[in-house]
Amino acid sequence: MKLRFPKGVKNFEVPIYDQRVYVTTKQSEVDAIDRYMHCGNIEWHLRRHSAGYCVHEVQEQTGIPLFLVVLRRPIKPHAIVHECGHLALMIAERVGIKVSYDDQEPFCYLLDWLFAKVTAELKR
Ligand SMILES: [Zn+2]
């Protein structure tokens, strides 16, 4: 049986870095993505009761990276910023951008852009 990525999960592309980000508020989608990824990452489950979390995993069979932001309802703006901070660092690491005090703009622009995008996805 061919493993397919769960349909209907909100997502967007980060064009300049060519990465896809998924956003969900539903545990059922997290579980479906977890099965698809075959990662068996227990931390996904340990984090079930937090306000949100962010995951960067690579699909075992295809090598395709996945970024996932999970937010619990009711969604708080500070939780979105917090997870977008993690997301920006994960994307930067993935694409080889060095985040440093001496060169702050790449990280801050990415964080700013991700926050706007994740917020817009959650409203769709
Ligand atoms: Zn955190």
pTM: 0.88
Residue 1 C-alpha to ligand 1 middle, in angstroms?
36
Percent of the chain with pLDDT over 70: 89
Residue 77 C-alpha to ligand 1 middle, in angstroms?
14
Distant-in-sequence contacts of 112-121, Cβ < 8 A, 24+ apart: 113/14, 114/14, 114/21, 114/84, 114/87, 114/88, 115/80, 115/81, 115/84, 117/12, 117/14, 117/21, 118/21, 118/23, 118/69, 118/80, 118/83, 118/84, 118/87, 119/80, 121/10, 121/11, 121/12, 121/23
pLDDT at residue 43 in the model: 60
Residue 85 C-alpha to ligand 1 middle, in angstroms?
8
